[in-house]
Amino acid sequence: MSEAAADLRKTALHALHVELGARMVPFAGYDMPVQYPAGILTEHNHTRTKAGLFDVSHMGQARLWGVGADKAIEALVPGNIVGLALTRIRYTVFTNDKGGILDDLTIGRAGDHLSVVVNAACKEADYEHMRRGLPKSMRLEILEDRALLALQGPAAEAVMARFAPDASKLTFMAFAGMKVAGLDCTVFRSGYTGEDGYEISVANKDAEGFARKLLKEPEVMPIGLGARDSLRLEAGLCLYGHDLDTTTTPAEGDLGWTIAKRRREEGGGFPGDKIILKQLAEGPSRLRVGIKPDGRAPAREGTVVLDAKGKEIGKITSGGFGPTANGPVAMGYVTKGNTTVGTPLGLVVRGTTLGAKVAALPFVPHHYKKA
């Protein structure tokens, strides 16, 4: 093992990944499975039709304790956390003073604390951001001793019901503590594939045994980072560090829906509020859009985007082949005036300009359990 590989962190399921024949790659400081012997295409299609099990233990899990924690964290995000109902989850972003996105995250309201889940690559910076920005009366508890497994796909509910019947009662973006296969877990009805499913927080010591139980179910197979990426891209979901970053505002990222009406009416009260609210009112100078290449060649991240006259108007931020969409799909930023669905574009791929069009997102319909 190289010194670099030795420095990578391992999740509680690392040994299981190796046993299952996964090809391991560095990701966000962890040694993670990119695919298993079945391959990315099979794993992608299996998740869309049955149920896939993902190890997302590299994500950051935390709890925020303290009276008024909801109001306190609103000073760091544009979402409506004060108005968040019990057991509900909200997707939001941390912003900086220029309106740029530091990370995207979810916040859930439990009975006596807030549940916070952040991205793996940003988690240490996010924790420090919260420590600096929150009152000293707040206590941030980092859950280093817990794994996070995602069970995604149309069969996810049926599989979970065998281990935790109450999981079926949850709707999209709700969560609850419950026994799952006799283990104390927190179960979130959420995911990163566009499919119905769950994210299950379980103690590290129990994670491998629990994963083995799920994998014994006939509908379930292990899924790596490769299929996770193609699934989220088809679903039009952003990947931080690619589609979102500190140079991108929520308005530019087409995340205006995450900024609550109340926050707008109150004039913000979060970092970069004046810039972001002005962009929402007037329209940003550039916008994240779906992009569909005309042929079969995928357009990868960094591909230059041209308008119909050959002028550079943006770049691809995520791109690849969409198995369910049956063709190449991409997301990227284009200038104002080029964002309407159907607008013709050019993509510079290996020195050749290929045709494309602005496409509606998502490329594949979401199948969340809303009620």
Is the bond preceding 293 in cis, omega lying within 30 degrees of 0?
Answer: no
Please check whether residues 231 and 332 belong to one and the same domain: no
Please check whether residues 261 and 127 belong to one and the same domain: yes
Collapsing DSSP to helix, strand or coil, 232 comes out as helix
Please check whether residues 158 and 297 belong to one and the same domain: no
Please check whether residues 248 and 342 belong to one and the same domain: no
Strands (E), the chain: 23-27, 30-35, 51-55, 60-65, 89-95, 101-109, 113-118, 139-142, 146-152, 175-180, 183-188, 197-203, 220-222, 286-293, 304-306, 312-322, 327-335, 344-349, 352-359
Task: Provide the residue-wise pLDDT of the chain in tens; the chain has 371 residues.
Answer: 343 567 999 999 999 999 999 999 999 999 999 999 999 999 999 999 999 999 999 999 999 999 999 999 999 999 999 999 999 999 999 999 999 999 999 999 999 999 999 999 999 999 999 999 999 999 999 999 999 999 999 999 999 999 999 999 999 999 999 999 999 999 999 999 999 999 999 999 999 999 999 999 999 999 999 999 999 999 999 999 999 999 999 999 999 999 999 999 999 999 999 999 999 999 999 999 999 999 999 999 999 999 999 999 999 999 999 999 999 999 999 999 999 999 999 999 999 999 999 999 999 999 999 97
95-114 pLDDT, tens digit each: 999 999 999 999 999 999 99
Q: Which of 338, 250, 324 is nearest to 290 (CA)?
A: 338
CATH number, residue 309: 2.40.30.110
Please check whether residues 256 and 322 belong to one and the same domain: no
Of 249, 266, 283, the domain-final residue: 283
Of 255, 283, 311, the domain-final residue: 283
Please check whether residues 248 and 132 belong to one and the same domain: yes
Count of domains forming the chain: 2
Please check whether residues 226 and 295 belong to one and the same domain: no
Q: Which of 185, 175, 228, 189 is nearest to 210 (CA)?
A: 185
Of 234, 267, 283, the domain-final residue: 283
Please check whether residues 34 and 130 belong to one and the same domain: yes
The CA distance from 71 to 69, in Å, is 6
Please check whether residues 225 and 314 belong to one and the same domain: no
The CA distance from 141 to 162, in Å, is 31
Contact yes or no for 262/83 (Cβ under 8 A)? yes
11: DSSP letter: -
21-79 pLDDT, tens digit each: 999 999 999 999 999 999 999 999 999 999 999 999 999 999 999 999 999 999 999 99
165: DSSP letter: G
Can you give the residue range of the structural domain that contains 336?
285-371
Please check whether residues 79 and 196 belong to one and the same domain: yes
CATH number, residue 248: 3.30.1360.120
Please check whether residues 114 and 259 belong to one and the same domain: yes
Please check whether residues 272 and 322 belong to one and the same domain: no
